[in-house]
Amino acid sequence: MYPRLEINVDKLKKNVAVVSDICKSHNMDMAMVTKSYCAIPEVVEEITKENVDYIADSRVENLKSLSHINLPKILLRIPMISEISDVIKYSDISFNSEIKTIYKLNEEAKKHDIIHKVVVMVDLGDLREGYFKEEELLSVVEEILKLENIKLYGIATNLTCYGAIIPSNDNLGRLANLAKKIENKYNIVLDFVSGGNSSSIYLVQSFEMPYGITNLRPGEAIALGRETAYGKILEGAYQDVFKLVCEIVENKEKPSLPIGEIGVDAFGNKPEYEDKGILKRAIVAIGRQDIDITSINPIDKDIEILGASSDHMILNVSGCSKKYDIGDTVDFNVEYGGLVSAATSKYVHKKIVYGEYKKVELAH
């Protein structure tokens, strides 16, 4: 069935092993982030066999679907008060930046007679979540240590996600120093000092990761086989784990310029067109409701993406050596945005591929 996202689990397992080896070789554990492909259980079951220490995701719903997998589970997105009950049920560790939320977690954990672990987020300049002022961070730590059903598990930071700030020895050194200060001040040991995501891998490989950082949370590096600070390909990793396959539903020659007065399109944008004469245009059955078309690339390099509406994507196939017809399929590589949107869309079917042979269609 089309459109579909094909997931090569053997290649993904290899990428997990490559990234895990990078972390382990520098005495860091790895929290594997599964959100980019919506934590498909059949996929996660396979790849957690490759030296994974934690499963991490931003959605409680995804962690719930992985309850049967015997690994500690981290909720990455700051918990909503409205989901506190599920946070306690389906995550072992949650990332937090509000003491009021942590109080609620403590109350819910007490009801279930469990200890819930929290990681406090530190903002090192990317200006997403976390405590920006050291004195505020320390005062919150002091409050957390008073709670009976909460364990302060560690501290963490996010970089490159919002402000695009590159991880460095300097900013992550500040995180490591804060961890040491907390340990010394309160006579405790932090099990988890997390120095960010896939964008921090280059620091590890260049031997510039500060001492005291004990964890990384790679997601995109595993999915796409590259670090994300500078886009460098990871040696031994695959960049084509995921493939989008779409079916052609119309194949006609038409002018390249729309005819009539141009207004705004369905998404409120006023498009501009270049007159390229008459084009051979193939329409595939996928659109902006399903996919971020700016984050996919045709594997056939002679195909040009002209644009898309909600339901259709228009391709220029004029220069292709292959002759496309209706019913044929077109394959695309996906970037991160394309992967996230395709995996999230219920209209895109998912298929697990084992090597080049066995294929398993997932329930839609």
Closest by alpha carbon to 72, among 62, 81, 63?
63
Give the three-state DSSP class for 295: helix
Looking at 13, 14, 35, 350, which residue is catalytic?
Answer: 35
Contact 199, 157 (CB under 8 A): no
CA distance 214 to 27: 7
**DSSP labels, 123-179:** -SSS-SSSB-SHHHHHHHHHHHTT-SSEEEEEEE---SSSS-PPP-HHHHHHHHHHH
CA distance 126 to 138: 20
Eight-class DSSP state of 276: -
User: Encoding tokens for residue 145?
Assistant: 């240590």
Residue 123's φ and ψ, nearest 5 degrees, are -90, 115
Give how far Cα 99 sits from Cα of 102, 121, 167, 358, 362, Å: 5, 11, 26, 49, 41
Sign for the CA dihedral angle at 204, 209, 214, 217 comes to: negative
Element (H, E) at 351: strand 349-354
CA distance 3 to 244: 7
User: Encoding tokens for residue 203?
Assistant: 């620091």
Task: Check if 35 is active-site.
Answer: yes
Give the residue numbers marked as catalytic: 35
